[in-house]
Structure 1
Amino acid sequence: MKLVKCAAALAIIASMTGCASIVGDKDQSITINSTPSKAQVLIIDETSKEVFAGETPTTVQLRKADGSYFGGKSYTVHIAKEGFQERTMMINSTPNGWYIGGNLVFGGLIGWLIVDPFTGAMYNLTPDQINTTLGESVASNDNGGNEINLVLLQDVPASLQDEMALIGHI
């Protein structure tokens, strides 16, 4: 009888947990590298809130969920350095394998529909590592704040091509 009560208690406790919540975390480390290094990093979440500002190389801890029901987080990462082209990447949350498969075996419906969706442990952030190369700026002229942009002729709208004038010959 004692064994039956113990088994029943364990079954109740197990049904009140989520598998991803047992093996997962609410936060995830994201590593960001750039070539050249010492580039400025700005991370903004889906609510337009700045969550991190620093420089490469860096590792940041980001929340995987926003605390709402099935509320996975997403982030926009801006990497910039003067004299180089800025890069923008997205980090998105996706359900992980422990949430999908583990709750079938261990967590049950309570874990699948209640515990894991609220804790955020059901998500992984991808990518978990960003390695980017910042290309050199196309062309610029810092005299008086004017800037020169080079474009291919095929990228100039036909309506503007008639207004173009040859200013030099190579």
Structure 2
Amino acid sequence: MRKLPFLLLITLLESCATFLNTTTQDINLKTNPPNAKIIIDGKKYGTTPQVINLTRDSNHIVKFELDGYDIYETQITRKISFWFWGNTLNGFIPGMLIDMFTGSMYKLLPESINVELQPAKVEPPKKRR
């Protein structure tokens, strides 16, 4: 019975980022003015402001659309997480492999996007000759 806590600790350290990071991350999305449509990787997610939970295993393209304003597009990029290097405590390989396969080895940046939308430019009507 005394070995159980030790085995649990070893299991947690084996895949450090998987347990500490999880495989998803909350991203805070805001626009001024609010109520812009949120489109991430081509999928609609409602309107701003909103916190969206995204998978850590890939980059994401975020687009904001609001009538009368220019479309704003940006990218959320995955970077290797600090917690991934916690696997050095257990000999690297088992924990790193688990974190790589689950995608939890990454951190998404930026964690928050706050955008000032620009009014769309209205082109003057062309004159007939």
- Which residue of 1 is the match for residue 55 of structure 2? 63
One-letter amino acid of the counterpart of residue 92, structure 1: T
Query: Which consecutive residues of structure 2, in runs of 5 or more, have no partner in the other structure?
Result: none
- 1:20-73 CA distance string (max 9 Å, x none): 1121111111111001111111111xxxx52x42111111111112xxxxxxx1
TM-score (norm 2): 0.82
Rg larger in 1 or in 2? 1
1 or 2 for the larger relative contact order (CA 8 Å, sep ≥6)?
Answer: 2
- Which residue of 2 is the match for residue 37 of structure 1? 34
- Between the aligned residues of both structures, percent identity stands at 26
- 1:62-121 CA distance string (max 9 Å, x none): 1112xxxxxxx1111110111111110001111100102x01124632112x11101121
The CA RMSD over aligned residues, in Å, is 2.7
Which has more strand, going by share of residues? Answer: 2
Give the paired residue count.
124
Does 2:22 match 1:25? yes
Q: Decide whether the 8 Å contact of 1:18 with 1:107 is kept in 2.
A: no
Q: Hey, what's the Cα distance between the residues in 2 that align with 1:121 and 1:17? A: 13
Query: Which consecutive residues of structure 1, in runs of 5 or more, have no partner in the other structure?
Result: 66-72, 142-146, 149-170
Q: Hey, what's the Cα distance between the residues in 1 that align with 2:23 and 2:61? A: 19
- Equivalent residue runs for 1:1-170 within 5 Å: 6=3, 10=7, 13-14=10-11, 17-44=14-41, 50=43, 52-65=44-57, 73-100=58-85, 102-106=86-90, 108-112=92-96, 114-140=97-123
TM-score (norm 1): 0.64
